[in-house]
Structure 1
Amino acid sequence: MKILQLTSHFSPNVGGVETHLDNLVRALVARENSVFVLTYRPLITKAKWKMYESRKDLRILRIPWFSGFFYEFVKTPILEFLYLFPGLFLATPLILFLESPDVIHTHGLIAGFVGVFWGKLFGKKTISTTHSIYHFPKNGMYTKFAKWIFANSHHVLTLSKQSKSEIANLGIPSDKITIFTYWVDLEKFKEVNGAKLDHLEGGPGSHLAAKRKIRKSFVVLFVGRLIEEKGILVLLEASRKWSKNITLVIIGTGPLESRIKNLEFRIKNLKYLGKIENNKLPDYYSAADVTIVPSIHEEGFGRVILESLACGTPVIGSNRGAIPEAMDDSVGMLIDVTPENIKKSVEFFYKNPGRLVELSKNARKFAKNKYSSKNISAIINVYSSKD
């Protein structure tokens, strides 16, 4: 099968959706499908990138575009649309003409609009995927825009019951909406024993210093984009109040990076490591006592949860969005995110190591049962369906 993946964000951009798309593309190619990815250059992450890549059954075209504006434009839907729409809209018909894919698989509303518009003109099956919870207003252009995309897609893929419900509330038949689940590479994301952490090197963020702290104190790990919606500011406030024997380790980049770097000099039990390559993350998950996902917005799913559990590390998660669907109290704790609640949950695990050990034993098994690569079958079934 020939599949066009249409998305505004793709690696080497860093994020949960980007990691999922990497996994999806690899899994599709491994199953002898031909995949073409049409995307932009990295718009969020500063990274080296190639405009065009080609290898067996996989080609990637990254449209050169203005970077560094995403976080400014994303606050206003019309500006986000004007920023992300033109390149994809102009390039898609050329790719459809040259490649003639069997399926167009879009990710996000803007790519969804582009895919559905050109898919109808070219007579192509179009699958729209949402990776977020949108909270569509009852009326208005934004809601009409989304409804048109979903109504004219052959099928819609969503990550959670909550997401499926909000799309169904737009009048989309529920049998046209399928819930799928992210998966994690269980061979890569697995527990790394302490001896194997010796290969970590010093450098930006001083990983060696972090390693020494990890060995001497109770470690709470945050991995994600440094934006307010991820709850990072609430987490930092909580870290000022908890025991001095608890170290907060932060991995990620984003608009709040300079603020966190400045705080690192004033908060002794804070360690900021910056960007860590995805293949090295299992070391950090394994070295941490608990991972925290304190999102204050409606998280689409929370990929960090999957990765942490696969490495045997329990999770403290926000009770917002789809996070409660991603984990339960057998592998962590769900909280209403406030500084006081974060402090209480972290100190509970710090003071109750037996409970932490119990959850750690459950974590890997939970990930293997729920987040294996078998989850791709839901997507492939939609590709193959005759609706």
Structure 2
Amino acid sequence: MAFKNHSSRTVSTSSSLPFRFTTIITLLLIFYTSYYIFFSQLDHSPLTSSAENPPFAGDLRDLTSPWNKLSFGPISQKLKLAVFCKSWPVGSIPGGMERHAYTLYTSLASRGHEVHVFTVSYDRSNHHKNQEEYYNKGDLHIYFAPNENGGLNISHAFEIFHRINGVDRPFDYVHTESVALPHWRVKMVPKGDVAVTWHGIWYEIMHSKLFEELYYSNDHPISDLDHTMPRLVDEIRFFPAYKQHICISNSAREVLVNIYQLPKRNVHVIVNGVDQTKFVYSPETGARFRAKHGVPVGNGTVIVMGVSGRLVRDKGHPLLYEAIALIAKTHPQVYLLVAGSGPWGKRYAELGEHVRVLGSLEPEELSGFYNALDVFVNPTLRPQGLDLTIIEAMQCGKPVVAPNYPSIVGTVVVDERFGYTFSPNVRSLVETLDSVVRDGSRVLEMKGKACKDYALSMFTATQMASAYERFFMCMTNERFCRYPLHIDS
């Protein structure tokens, strides 16, 4: 049975073979070395303190675990923040980055901080190019500065930035989501004091290319592994242009400190959070979603799995497609709900009665989707960053099946109570899904409860915003770098 897109591979010259072989061997050595670094140094400490694991006290700049773990008190002082963001959720159904930005900056504005976001519309078809647009909602101010292609016109955005910087009072701090504010522009920021949140780094992207190369082997055109090393070296060289670095996983912090050689005190971990008022555990909502989409009711015998997001190759859908096709032969009670759009939607539909392709869901439908599942599956071949879908599913009380990447096992699925992890290949995923089915709905329900409790202790929008608030306060006034303060609980 042909599950992959087969095509012939040609090599231009025989001399390229030794080079590619050396490149892959080098990447493998770096890859396994990084695994050793990650798992020997990561903080897997429980949330509760003990004699062996005392609560943190000291300077927050020395904290190596996520700031989300700490309980920060309310701050009466209000900041004026400038934010550069690649796109903002307007019009079409937003992606994970846009949902993150909206959640974070809306939360900060609701706390009374004056937040100015320089960005472009996520739905470029509805945006008038080369025309500045602006809207505000209370203390949240959004400025759209598109170029002729609909991307962020950084020169235009900087003009607006400087104009706003002179109104009332200067910005207290400048923050950028990844390279929305390019490194060569940082020196143009007054004092050059800029913090950047990295949602993915080239060291992790290099791993993605490696996984794709290993998965597709000789059955698919080669990936651009040969070009990743120069990109990685270039990134390591320009990262110091940003003064402070925020990572969204423990493993990314280890890379920036140990591989990129950034000062420990300049690298911090603040894990993404999702709106805990929208993603909630609700069996009733899940039952309605199942009925609406004709999901079989088996009184605990049917195991409903789900996957969501962009249905594209690098998100691991060829991997899940093969695994579901195989697992359905031995476990006919498995049912898969596929939420999202992309080329693999049609392929999933080929699997017949075991799969229901739902298409893209509106944001308000996602909670019902997660609640309709017994387990959420994320088959991604991309180790970089943290997929919000995993956190959303956990908030809804669902266990997860995810690859055993450092960013996931070191920050999210840190305990087998929360779900299952697999190596990014078909055999491992099939074995894992088989374990899911054998465990059954009762075990999955217990794992889901553990997920919900852990997610509510770590991955809420409130905790994320509180951590960022304290971070910005710390960067502007060293007094707030001490923890705990009298305001902290």
TM-score by shorter chain over 0.5:
yes
Out of 10, 24, 39, the residue aligned to residue 88 of structure 2 is 10
Aligned-pair CA distance for 1:219? 1.2
**2:395 equivalent to 1:330:** no
**Alignment-mate amino acid for residue 97 of structure 2:** V
Which runs of no fewer than 5 residues in structure 1 stay unpaired? 68-82, 201-206
Out of 336, 345, 352, the residue aligned to residue 260 of structure 1 is 345
Out of 350, 353, 356, the residue aligned to residue 437 of structure 2 is 350
- Within 5 Å, give how 1:125-274 maps onto structure 2: 125-135=193-203, 140=230, 143-148=233-238, 150-168=239-257, 169-194=259-284, 197-198=287-288, 210=293, 212-213=294-295, 215-216=297-298, 217-242=302-327, 243-253=331-341, 257-274=342-359
TM-score by length of 1: 0.82
**CA 1:48–1:208: 2 relative to 1, 3 Å:** farther
Higher relative contact order (CA 8 A, sep 6+): 2
**CA 1:102–1:115: 2 relative to 1, 3 Å:** farther
Number of residue equivalences: 354
Asked which structure has the greater CA Rg, the reply is 2
Provide the rounded CA distance (Å) in 1 between the counterparts of 2:384 and 2:417: 21
Aligned-pair CA distance for 1:189? 0.9
Aligned-pair CA distance for 1:214? 5.1
Aligned-pair identity in percent equals 19
Task: Tell me what 1:306 maps to.
Answer: 391
Provide the rounded CA distance (Å) in 2 between the counterparts of 1:379 and 1:195: 32
Q: Deviations over 1:58-89 (max 9, x none)?
A: 1222334567xxxxxxxxxxxxxxx95xx432
**CA 1:195–1:249: 2 relative to 1, 3 Å:** closer
Q: Deviations over 1:10-33 (max 9, x none)?
A: 213622222211111111101111
**2:467 equivalent to 1:374:** no
Task: Tell me what 1:52 maps to.
Answer: 134
Provide the rounded CA distance (Å) in 2 between the counterparts of 1:159 and 1:229: 20
Task: Tell me which moved more, 229-238 or 94-103.
Answer: 94-103
Task: Tell me what 1:80 maps to.
Answer: none
Task: Tell me what 1:365 maps to.
Answer: 453
Provide the rounded CA distance (Å) in 2 between the counterparts of 1:269 and 1:229: 23
Task: Tell me what 1:78 maps to.
Answer: none
Task: Tell me which moved more, 375-384 or 278-287.
Answer: 375-384
Q: Deviations over 1:151-175 (max 9, x none)?
A: 2323111112221122222231111
Contact 1:318 1:336 in 2 (8 A): yes
Task: Tell me what 1:104 maps to.
Answer: 174
Q: CA RMSD in A?
A: 2.7
Contact 2:401 2:419 in 1 (8 A): yes
Out of 91, 104, 111, the residue aligned to residue 31 of structure 1 is 111
Task: Tell me what 1:289 maps to.
Answer: 374
Task: Tell me what 1:340 maps to.
Answer: 427
Task: Tell me which moved more, 110-119 or 343-352.
Answer: 110-119
SS at 2:304 equivalent: strand
Contact 2:202 2:235 in 1 (8 A): no
Provide the rounded CA distance (Å) in 2 between the counterparts of 1:66 and 1:219: 45
- Within 5 Å, give how 1:66-81 maps onto structure 2: none
**Alignment-mate amino acid for residue 62 of structure 1:** F
